[in-house]
Structure 1
């Protein structure tokens, strides 16, 4: 029997996402993939499966789901209100979704993107070696009410595992390196970029995040003469009014706005997850330091599976508590007294 997941209700920003499609910039297709790539690695660690399997990305709000068969799931990224048949579930953890049970994922509690991972991964818009929907390129579509997703084979059995929480959901410091037009900006503008708190604007999506500075924007002489050239996620474009705009996973492949700097890939999840109104602050680092930071991030992701630990459930919140044989002698004794 083919394993499937029913979508009873889909939030407005729900898509299937994996690590994306690298290697197609020359034909006008940006990488795409999950806005928070670290969340995919966390879900993979919790379920003990490869990080390139696709998950369900939920922007702002979740949805309701029902598995046709017993299914392992994990919840990562920005925490959302979640229940299983009315009982609360822990976020950043793995669980068993029994056949016929209803998983309800509600509003965001902090951050911007939550992820529902399925044991075996889900099938999406298979194209150019990936399952990700890339809406700006016309690949795939948002998930909708009444849809059904096919689930890949799952050889794993372990659930009720959790990972230590991360702090990337409320803004903070973001490391950046010089980009192709950084030298066109005056030293004072470059210093002011690092010293200026930047509020995440409500106008943000999978293509980019607009940041509002406290005070004047950032300007460059001759910025309108920049030739359109290749751009990548993490580039910080300065628009005509001096506003920084961080390019994200579904950005275009070329652009003509001057780039004052580029966010390190390891810090892009923080940019993606910063909620509207929260503050980010850039910090310049040299290229050698950036390389070491990326190496450290790769080691951290590789070690995630080893950081898992059993999820301790609160007996007061376990609707299925009587199904657990906690102490067999007590159960037997109760039976003898009846």
Structure 2
């Protein structure tokens, strides 16, 4: 059986995919990977469907063994990685031979790292997805001693790389108006947009708390609302004025007012921001937001075209003549350093 044996698993390793759309009315958010961009990057590196299930790792990965030769790709938050003691590059694809040990260690930047395998993980599906959704009891974290089945792999290429989207240190996040945005005084909205927030350590797949200096952002006219539908990306402001960005496993309804909603393409920037990272929010109109989201979706579809070899073959380099290949060459017949 094609599988990955789990000799050791970190505390937050779980099978994820694109999630379960279409169940919001039944009380189930989509879930899926916290960083969907990383799922697309891994699919591009392995030349396979973005629907293939992956391993999401938080903080550290684990030690794994391949029962057969398998292809892997590593994306998302950069972690240390070795294949039988040899360093494996991140944001790249590799061959893991049968019996080899893949060791994925601590995070170097970002929060969520991803391990992709050729053919995807073939764990049991529920409601059309293999995604682990802990808050509702769908699936379970990967544990030491597990054996994870792997699907048939139709690809062959390894040793490919992809320049990652820079989303691992915080930065500016684009938001659009939400249902209660206009209920917040213009001065509060302006101050919210001018504030530099810090990603609070109290964060998980349900939501991320935003810290800031100075007074909070509660609005006396909208301290609470009748509970209504909410979605990942919504920014709820609690009674004490603290903003929370809702993430992949958020609840489906809530009674806190929302000052705005993060564009889906920018939500990975929130997910990957390490504790203490600085984050700013900037408002776009709904029309501007839709245009930016459409552009990001188009860019994701073009990721396979951006994949390149880790080590370039001179025979395939169309720009070979632009390189200086002889600088520093020393003649074997006339070596000036050997002269007395």
Relative to the length of structure 2, the TM-score reads 0.91
Aligned equivalent of 1:140 = 139
Deviation at 1:133, TM superposition (A): 0.5
Deviation at 1:243, TM superposition (A): 0.6
Task: Output aligned runs, 1:292-311, within 5 Å.
Answer: 292-311=291-310
Aligned equivalent of 2:211 = 212
The answer to whether 1:270 aligns with 2:269 is yes
Separation of aligned partners in 1, 2:183 and 2:60: 41
Which range moved further: 41-50 or 284-293? 284-293
Task: Output aligned runs, 1:1-338, within 5 Å.
Answer: 2-312=1-311
- Deviating runs (4+, > 3 A) in structure 1? none
Separation of aligned partners in 2, 1:126 and 1:137: 15
Deviation at 1:44, TM superposition (A): 0.1
Aligned length: 312
Deviation at 1:125, TM superposition (A): 4.3
Separation of aligned partners in 2, 1:15 and 1:216: 38
Deviation at 1:288, TM superposition (A): 1.0
Secondary structure at 1:201 match in 2? strand
Secondary structure at 1:79 match in 2? strand
Separation of aligned partners in 2, 1:178 and 1:125: 39
Separation of aligned partners in 2, 1:124 and 1:300: 30
Partners of 2:77 and 2:107 within 8 A in 1: yes
Separation of aligned partners in 2, 1:149 and 1:176: 38
Which range moved further: 218-227 or 181-190? 218-227
1:54-96 CA-to-partner distances (Å, cap 9, x unmatched) read 0000011110100000000000000001111111110000000
Deviation at 1:214, TM superposition (A): 2.1
Deviation at 1:299, TM superposition (A): 1.0
Partners of 2:77 and 2:168 within 8 A in 1: yes
Aligned equivalent of 2:318 = none
Partners of 1:93 and 1:160 within 8 A in 2: yes
1:202-229 CA-to-partner distances (Å, cap 9, x unmatched) read 0000001101012111011233440000
Structure 1: runs of 5 or more not aligned: 314-338
Structure 2: runs of 5 or more not aligned: 313-340
Separation of aligned partners in 2, 1:40 and 1:225: 36
Aligned equivalent of 1:330 = none
Deviation at 1:249, TM superposition (A): 0.3
Separation of aligned partners in 2, 1:265 and 1:32: 13
Secondary structure at 1:166 match in 2? coil
Partners of 1:124 and 1:140 within 8 A in 2: no
Separation of aligned partners in 1, 2:259 and 2:123: 36
Deviation at 1:123, TM superposition (A): 2.3
1:106-127 CA-to-partner distances (Å, cap 9, x unmatched) read 0000100000000000023410
Separation of aligned partners in 2, 1:251 and 1:63: 27
Separation of aligned partners in 1, 2:261 and 2:190: 15
Measured on the aligned residues, the alpha-carbon RMSD in Å equals 0.9
Deviation at 1:258, TM superposition (A): 0.6
Aligned equivalent of 2:325 = none
Secondary structure at 1:222 match in 2? helix
